[in-house]
Amino acid sequence: MKKEIKIKPAVLLTLIKASGYDEENLSKKTKIPLTKIKEGLVTLAQLKNISEVLKRPLAAFFSGEIPDLKTIPDYRLNRERKLNPEVFLAQRKLEYLIEKMKELGLKKSSLPSFSQELSPIELAERFRQYLGIDLLKNKKPEKILESYKTILEEKLKLIIIEQPLKPGKVKNKEVSDDVRAFSICSDVSGIVLNETDHPSIKIFSLFHEVCHLLRKSSGICSLDYEVEKDFEEESYCNRFAAQFLVPEDDIKKELKIYPSLPERLIEVIDNLSKIYGVSKQVILLRLLYL
């Protein structure tokens, strides 16, 4: 019989929860009896298996103190669904990078302060003036995305990374697969974009999260464009991103070449999507706002 190792149950439970699992899910995934996990009594081979699933070093299981992840406001439409492990892993990575930046004494993020009374349209225009940049358009989405990321990283000293935020195969349908991006507002602020999203979607996600940071808040977002009334903060950030990426005055000029818009709506949306490098859904959102 293989020798079992005693792990403090409280430490193990904290690591499990901070990785986006619960004891039952971990038991099913590792095929380790639930009673053994609850007691913290496992063999070395089982502990290695747990370590791989939770993506934690073995040393973490023998620590006396395990810090919990910071709680980030959840703005998803389906908040009753549990966040999937990929989101927790991405959050840990971003928080690790933030702490390393602080330890190295590197510059803190320099987020400008704007009045909270500004409309999202006004904030987008003020922010563009602050950055001192022209509208990027008529380029491939990946080029626009990289240009904006570089500008924001250099000007605001933000950490912007891309991580997979959606699970592969999920048997439990209650697990969330709708996270597009999230942000953490602190002395050193950061944004995580969903690595698997198309660049045109990442662009909108990026500026949605920038809006959260400009409003001195953090957030986990699914970017449900249709949500307005019950999610005022998300609606505000959506409108900010739409105005920044597809300014009202600019799109009105582009629309002048289409005299019969209703009949050519699909063609118009497709063309505007290519011009501004954003998704067709964003263009439709912009037209609805107009």
Q: How far apart are CA 121 and CA 123, in angstroms?
A: 5
pLDDT of 222? 87
Alpha-carbon distance of 45 to 4, in angstroms, equals 9
Residue 220's H or E segment, with its range, is strand 219-221
Q: Kindly report the number of other CB atoms within 10 A of residue 183's CB atom.
A: 28
- How far is 219 from 208, CA to CA, in rounded Å? 10
HSE on the CB side for 247, CA within 13 Å?
14
> From CA 245, how far away is CA 111, in angstroms rounded?
19
The structure tokens 């697969």 sit at 177
pLDDT at 170: 45
- Which among 215, 237, 213 is positioned nearest to 159, based on CA atoms? 213
| Residues whose CB falls within 8 Å of the CB of residue 131, separated by 6 or more in sequence, listed in order | 151, 155
List strand residue ranges (DSSP E) for 52-209, in order.
Answer: 159-163, 181-184, 190-194
β-partners of residue 74 are 220
Contact 31, 24 (CB under 8 A): no
In order along its 290 residues, the chain shows pLDDT tens digits of 578 888 888 889 888 988 888 899 899 999 999 999 998 899 999 999 999 999 888 888 887 776 667 789 888 887 778 888 999 999 999 999 998 988 887 778 999 999 999 999 999 999 999 999 999 999 999 999 999 999 999 999 999 999 999 765 444 444 557 899 999 999 999 999 999 999 999 999 999 999 999 999 999 998 765 544 457 889 899 999 999 999 999 999 998 887 666 677 888 899 999 999 999 999 988 888 77
Strand-pairing partners, residue 217, are none
